[in-house]
Structure 1
Amino acid sequence: MCKSKIENRKSKIARLVILGAGESGVGTALLGKKKGFEVFVSDFGQLKETYKQVLEHHEIEWEEGGHTEEKILSATVVMKSPGIPDTVPIVKKLKNEGIKVISEIEFASKFTDATIVGITGSNGKTTTATLTYEVLKNGGLNVALGGNIGKSFAEQVSEETFTNYVLELSSFQLDGIETFAPHIAVLTNITPDHLNRYDHDFSKYIAAKFRIAMNQTADDYFIYDADDEVITEWLSEHPLQSRLLPFSAKKELKQGAYIKNNEIILTIDNNKFTMAIKTIGLQGEHNTKNAMAASTVAKLLKIRKATIRESMERFQGVEHRLEKVLKINNVMYINDSKATNVNATFYALDSMESPTVWIVGGVDKGNDYTDLLPLVNEKVKAIVCLGVDNEKLTKQFGNIVDMLVETQSMQEAVKIAYRLAERGDNVLLSPACASFDLFTNYEDRGRQFKEAVRQL
């Protein structure tokens, strides 16, 4: 068993307090209990019934509907769920008291010796992480998928002994790391996102993403998009310790992956791998880049070339990312609920080849919609706004499309889109916003969309 640095700080039983009883919070509670911590879970909101049952079953103390300061401030260490900002009063008090506040990723990493592949980026990280996991699994590795996707990293560390992890990592999760260092880090791209969380300062968000590599050494690898000017500029000013393996759709590279004659060419040292782009299951330049990143990870971990090619050919994508739901009256309904920022929606609109009724809106994270204007002008015939506050969207797009309708429920949005769409059109849910005004999360939003479409 890996001994935690946290555990060794005090000879008496260390007290682990967890703020937020969602997937990461409950997973951390299970791991903490197994490793001998005295565990207390506190949630300002209400716990899901399933999570209550898990905590009760494992005899873990919890509270909901508020924080008992005395119990929280007695902590040796606090795991803060990624959705909780540093600005909330209880987190400020903890930091003033000098109590360590970390993320689930930091905590769980102390209890595994597995090889970790960490994947972050504003867009494409879920697809890249899932694709990477599939390739490694198909290649016979003992591997788990976690982080910002599926079952929490902490719970998986507590339950099984995996020798490899593929972790999708958000900037919020990376904000709470201190010593966490993936052997292979992937940065898919950086575009403005979550700026409301970063004081509307893009450089703070960029720095948060680059935390994925801050503890890497010369024995580790950093895979990144060499076409992304934000990334390349940051790297030129902040050199990394790790070995750089770029990928590019625009230029030839001596090391890393690039495109030539409609083929991906990947070179690591003197080892070359090629794959025809037309054979990849997911088409589009952004998906080709996701495939380049995943293939680079697979080659580093010694997966056979034939396995990589077969995995890329078979992979059909992830739920809520340009997911074709149904065709009704020759209108295709597409679920892109995972598009929670402008750049993701840019990809979605760019891929539309028919007139599109676009369902957009939610919690605006400091979005600038300017880049979407040409695409909306070219491809969008009508806009259905779906959110509590649609003012910014109506101002931006009201004069560009012939029809803009405001709605506040998914069922209403889909019914209106159904009436506006004609044979040969698309109806695209690609919100460019967070979901928390009307939905639990983007998955809830996507599933409500699919259910509403099926009920037409």
Structure 2
Amino acid sequence: MSKKMVILGGGESGVGAAILAKKEGYEVFLSDGGQLKNTYRSDLQNHGILFEEGGHSESRILDADEVMKSPGIPDKTPMVKAIRAKGIPVISEIELAWRHKGDGRVIGITGSNGKSTTTALTYHICRHGGLDAALVGNIGYSFARQVAEDPKQWYVCEISSFQLDDIHAFRSEIAILTNITEDHLDRYDYKFENYIASKFRITMNQTAEDYFIYCADDPIIKKYIDQFEIHSNPLPFTMQQDINQGGSIRNGQMNINTGSEKLQMSIYDFALKGIHNQYNTMAAGIASATVGIRKEKIREAIQSFEALEHRMEYVSTVRGVEFINDSKATNVNSTWYALESMEKPTILILGGVDKGNDYSLIRDLVKEKVKAIVCLGVDNRKIHEAFQQDVPLMVNTASAEEAVKAAFHFATKGDVVLLSPACASFDLFKNYEDRGRQFKEAVRDL
């Protein structure tokens, strides 16, 4: 008898998991409470996978031997509660992918901020260095779909805390933890410790042959690292101390030492600018050195990398006013990093769905650098309360076009308009990509 696998959720990770499970001989049924995108519906039909949308058939789901839950579905939904109450094992898509990846190995990257950039840069270095690698996880193809359709020797995988919550045997030979700041607390009973524990799960199944690359300057990682049993080789990266192994930046010079490889490089040669990107570059450089990529190749790749769309992406300069799209900044810390790298007077576009934001974190930077705030969201009261004492110019807008016009109105030659919302986008947009694209279109229409 083949094992009955129910897939809950029909987005990229759900459909990828369904395709892999079917290929591996499971009896697969996918259930989505909403409507499937046309491309995903076609994928399921083409692979002969049974599915439902617009609701869940409880009896059928509770007949599963195992459930793969998409990361976007919270544990507190009635369907997930019923599955757990019945004792049916729940796994995440990366767990399923890992189970069937054969000899492939994983570079897993997690953290509250910087993980997409670090993942993309690590992948860029690996490919430039000749590694047979795929870019998977939150950033592109689902890990499961890649394993099903085009297996590789290495998977450079961006992993969210939600994906780590339902792993059992999943193991990253190389794990990167960029930093931990308060985010998604609505999913963790508003307990920061629960979210911290979730991030450290990336080390859970690592062995003495593996590597754990982490930011030694991050106050939360520093405070909590000793509470977790970590068996892998630590490779910290830092700008604040001298270390024997790992990565450090001192006097404008990056030094990487993994034991087998040593690399030196000037930070002025980095393609990515800003202090936060120096941390991301160290992490990616260390990871690449541990998989045996030659230092010349690492150096070349760090110099030639192009920034991601929606992450501090230069859009255009209109009448001396520069526009930057940082729509991927969906929490306050991401916006802190964006503001920290601003060198000109800034008009900041903020707002959206607040995930329990503490705006006091960016108050000093706002006072120092921001001359006007344009709110882009349905409910902007919290932003007004946070900054009304510090920023004389504040206005509410309800579309990307309105926000861009208002910001341009406040700006003078030599200013920067920065879209770095510190919030999720679901009140006015489909997702942060949609928000970023609408922003770019509005800038081009000025």
TM-score, structure 2 as length reference: 0.98
In structure 1, what is the equivalent of residue 440 of structure 2? 450
**1:252–1:259 Cα contact (<8 Å) kept:** no
Following TM superposition, by how much is the alpha carbon of 1:415 offset from its aligned partner in structure 2, in angstroms?
1.6
1:86-126 deviation line (CA, Å, top 9, x unaligned): 00000000001111111100111101121100000010100
From 396, 408, 413, the equivalent of 2:403 is 413
In structure 1, what is the equivalent of residue 192 of structure 2? 202
Following TM superposition, by how much is the alpha carbon of 1:270 offset from its aligned partner in structure 2, in angstroms?
5.7
From 422, 435, 447, the equivalent of 2:425 is 435
Matches within 5 A, 1:44-193: 44-112=33-101, 113-193=103-183
In structure 1, what is the equivalent of residue 238 of structure 2? 248
Structure 2 distance, partners of 1:168, 1:41, is: 24
1:38 aligns with 2:30: no
1:303 aligns with 2:267: no
Secondary structure at the residue paired with 2:186? coil
Secondary structure at the residue paired with 2:172? coil
Secondary structure at the residue paired with 1:196? helix
In structure 2, what is the equivalent of residue 286 of structure 1? 276
In structure 2, what is the equivalent of residue 21 of structure 1? 10
Moved more, 162-171 or 33-42: 33-42
1:262 aligns with 2:252: yes
Secondary structure at the residue paired with 1:433? coil
In structure 2, what is the equivalent of residue 390 of structure 1? 380
What is the identity, as a one-letter code, of the residue corresponding to 1:104? E
1:19-65 deviation line (CA, Å, top 9, x unaligned): 11100011111111111111111111111111111111112111111
1:318-367 deviation line (CA, Å, top 9, x unaligned): 11110000111111110001111111100111111111111111111111
Moved more, 410-419 or 109-118: 410-419
**2:188–2:194 Cα contact (<8 Å) kept:** yes
User: What is the alpha-carbon root mean square deviation over aligned residues?
Assistant: 1.0
Matches within 5 A, 1:214-363: 214-269=204-259, 271-363=261-353
Structure 1 distance, partners of 2:237, 2:154, is: 23
Q: For structure 2, list consecutive stretches of 5 or more residues without a partner in the other structure.
A: none
Structure 2 distance, partners of 1:168, 1:271, is: 25
In structure 2, what is the equivalent of residue 6 of structure 1? none
What is the identity, as a one-letter code, of the residue corresponding to 1:201? K
1:293-323 deviation line (CA, Å, top 9, x unaligned): 1111111111011100000011121111100
Structure 1 distance, partners of 2:16, 2:259, is: 39
Matched residue pairs, number? 445
Structure 2 distance, partners of 1:180, 1:421, is: 50
**1:336–1:429 Cα contact (<8 Å) kept:** yes
From 403, 407, 413, the equivalent of 1:423 is 413
Structure 1 distance, partners of 2:261, 2:346, is: 44
Off by >6 Å, runs of 4+ in structure 1: none
Secondary structure at the residue paired with 1:436? coil
Following TM superposition, by how much is the alpha carbon of 1:237 offset from its aligned partner in structure 2, in angstroms?
2.5
Q: For structure 1, list consecutive stretches of 5 or more residues without a partner in the other structure.
A: 1-11
What is the identity, as a one-letter code, of the residue corresponding to 2:25? G
Structure 1 distance, partners of 2:342, 2:141, is: 33
1:380 aligns with 2:357: no
Structure 1 distance, partners of 2:361, 2:216, is: 21
What is the identity, as a one-letter code, of the residue corresponding to 1:391? R
**1:13–1:37 Cα contact (<8 Å) kept:** yes
